């Protein structure tokens, strides 16, 4: 077997040809009429004990300003690889890892965000498999859409073009500063909702989760989101409706001059009476109503865990006032609160949009598309979630135990009337839904709302006393 020479590398061929080297066993030169002369090494993997081929590289003729990679160069490289093979190294796996690390070093934040979103949105089995039964699939992270939205809106516009390994703590701190100062522009039709501190908190949580995951997957050696200046505490939300505001809202939703869809008005009433969240109540289907549905002696709705913030089914009894509202809203549709065409439920933002109205900016001018219910009725602005706070406060005024109020709100009970409750007790052991306790409390809430709505306004009472 002859040695590979420079003459072999420079000759032209009409068909594919292999020339093996006598000095370095396993190394050969591949010649082709359509490709450059390329060196390979055949070897036996010390781990798998299988024959494999490793590509060394392309023959490079000596030239000025170009590194020479002739036969002698690739023979030395092959010898070094054979030493590593004799030591038990899998050079194919090492080469693949080196290519992956090189790709990671050039990865942009845009690409990292795409990988992160794909990872958190992948479908995984829900719960434990029983008796070989195929389980329903669900996204790995239940709130993946919200997490993806924060990454796309608050992180990608500013950091997306940067190399992942070059993002520093200073970049994150500057982004936080710009958001707090109101200088962050996402270049979209409508501005971000909520105060700047809330957006900054969403950004911090999103980017911290992104780089923590990147460090776990070896895309970065360490997360840059360390020792950042802490954000100020957000002021607690305390907005709740007064009895007069409840009265104005309740009667105002029945006014004929209100332009908001009747089903949305009924959904707002239902939110106050049922204490459910927007997504939980707006998407109630007739299949979720137990027994004889709204005509049952003890009406009950089970909200599936897919729509519940805590990821567990909610067994919510319905008071007679809630049933009355639901019957009017449902009609002959399969959903309690059907959309415009009756083929799907109301959008989860329907109540919020109806309460605040719709305003957009066009050429720097504010364009009013619709006036919100709060403005029409002369009530201080509030959100659908504030109705839960209002209902809970009403229950508190009726001396309903806080543990029962927490059950009605689907909150974890950490303390009851007898003291502290172990977190693991309610999560893994005490699985009773407390239906009768909640039914009694929700009925008392409905009676109180009826009393408030039927009572005259305080201003009217004062006028009557003055007269």
Q: Which of 373, 398, 112 is nearest to 249 (CA)?
A: 373
DSSP state of 160: T
Longest dimension (CA), the chain: 123
Alpha-carbon distances, residue 342 vs 4, 267, 270, 271 (angstroms): 79, 15, 19, 20
- Ordered by start, the domain boundaries in the chain are 6-100, 110-216, 243-466
Reported as type and span, the H/E element at residue 31 is: strand 27-32
Cα distances (Å, whole numbers) of residue 62 to 3, 29, 67, 76, 78 = 19, 18, 7, 17, 20
User: Which residue is associated with the tokens 């409750």?
Assistant: 421
CATH T-level topology, domain 243-466 = hpI Integrase; Chain A (1.10.443)
* Helix H or strand E encompassing 358: strand 357-362
Q: Which CATH architecture has domain 6-100?
A: 2-Layer Sandwich (3.30)
CB 13: neighbour CB atoms within 10 A?
Answer: 10
CB count in 10 Å sphere of residue 164: 22
Q: What is the pLDDT of residue 463?
A: 40
CA gap 384, 267 in Å, rounded: 10
The pLDDT of residue 467? 41
Q: How many CA atoms lie within 13 A of 381 on its CB side?
A: 9
Place of tokens 């009406």: 299
Quickly tell me which residue has 């522009």 as its tokens.
185
| All residues at 6 or more sequence positions from 74 whose CB lies less than 8 Å from its CB, including other chains | 27, 39, 56, 57, 59
d(CA 332, CA 342) in angstroms, rounded, equals 9
pLDDT of residue 418: 54
Answer whether 240's CB lies under 8 Å from 246's CB: no
Walking along the chain (467 residues) 10 residues at a time, the average pLDDT comes out as 84 90 91 91 89 90 73 91 89 80 79 94 75 72 90 91 90 89 58 70 93 89 86 84 94 91 94 94 93 92 87 90 94 90 89 84 61 91 94 94 90 68 65 87 95 73 45
């Amino acid at each position: 077997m002859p040695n590979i020479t420079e003459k072999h590398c420079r000759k032209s061929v009409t068909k594919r040809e292999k020339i093996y080297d006598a000095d370095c066993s396993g190394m050969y030169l591949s010649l082709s009429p359509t490709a450059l002369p390329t060196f390979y090494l055949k070897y036996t993997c010390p781990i798998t004990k299988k024959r494999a081929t490793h590509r060394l590289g392309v023959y490079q003729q000596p030239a000025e300003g170009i590194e020479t990679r002739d036969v002698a160069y690739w023979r030395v490289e092959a010898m070094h690889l054979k030493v590593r093979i004799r030591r038990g190294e899998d050079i194919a796996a090492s080469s693949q890892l080196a290519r992956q690390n090189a790709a990671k070093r050039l990865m942009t934040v845009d690409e990292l965000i795409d990988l992160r979103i794909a990872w958190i949105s992948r479908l995984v089995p829900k719960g434990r498999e029983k008796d070989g039964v195929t389980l329903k699939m669900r996204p790995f992270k239940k709130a993946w859409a919200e997490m993806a939205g924060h990454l796309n809106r608050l992180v990608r516009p500013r950091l997306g073009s940067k190399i992942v390994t070059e993002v520093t703590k200073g970049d994150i701190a500057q982004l936080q500063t710009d958001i707090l100062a109101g200088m962050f522009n996402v270049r979209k039709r409508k501005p971000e909702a909520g105060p700047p501190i809330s957006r900054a908190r969403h950004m911090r949580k999103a980017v911290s989760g992104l780089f923590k995951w990147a460090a776990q997957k070896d895309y970065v050696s360490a997360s840059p989101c360390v020792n950042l200046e802490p954000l100020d505490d957000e002021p607690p939300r305390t907005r709740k409706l007064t009895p007069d505001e409840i009265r104005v809202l309740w009667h105002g939703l029945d006014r004929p001059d209100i332009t908001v869809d009747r089903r949305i008005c009924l959904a707002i009433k239902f939110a106050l009476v049922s204490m459910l969240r927007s997504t939980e109540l707006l998407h109630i289907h007739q299949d979720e109503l137990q027994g004889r549905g709204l005509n049952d002696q003890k009406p009950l709705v089970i909200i599936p865990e897919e729509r519940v913030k805590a990821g567990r089914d909610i067994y919510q009894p319905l008071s007679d006032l809630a049933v009355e509202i639901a019957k009017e809203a449902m009609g002959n549709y399969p959903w309690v609160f059907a959309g415009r065409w009756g083929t799907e439920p109301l959008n989860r933002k329907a109540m919020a949009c109806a309460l605040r109205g719709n305003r957009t900016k066009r050429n720097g001018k504010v364009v009013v598309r619709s006036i919100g219910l709060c403005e029409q009725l002369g009530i201080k602005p509030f959100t659908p979630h504030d109705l839960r706070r209002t209902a809970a406060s009403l229950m508190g005024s009726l001396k309903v135990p806080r543990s029962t109020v927490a059950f009605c709100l689907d909150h974890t009970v950490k303390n009851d009337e007898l003291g502290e409750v172990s977190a693991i007790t309610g999560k893994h052991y005490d699985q009773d839904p407390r239906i009768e306790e909640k039914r009694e409390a929700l009925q008392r809430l409905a009676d109180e709302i009826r009393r408030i709505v039927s009572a005259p306004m305080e201003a009217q009472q004062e006028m009557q006393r003055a007269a």
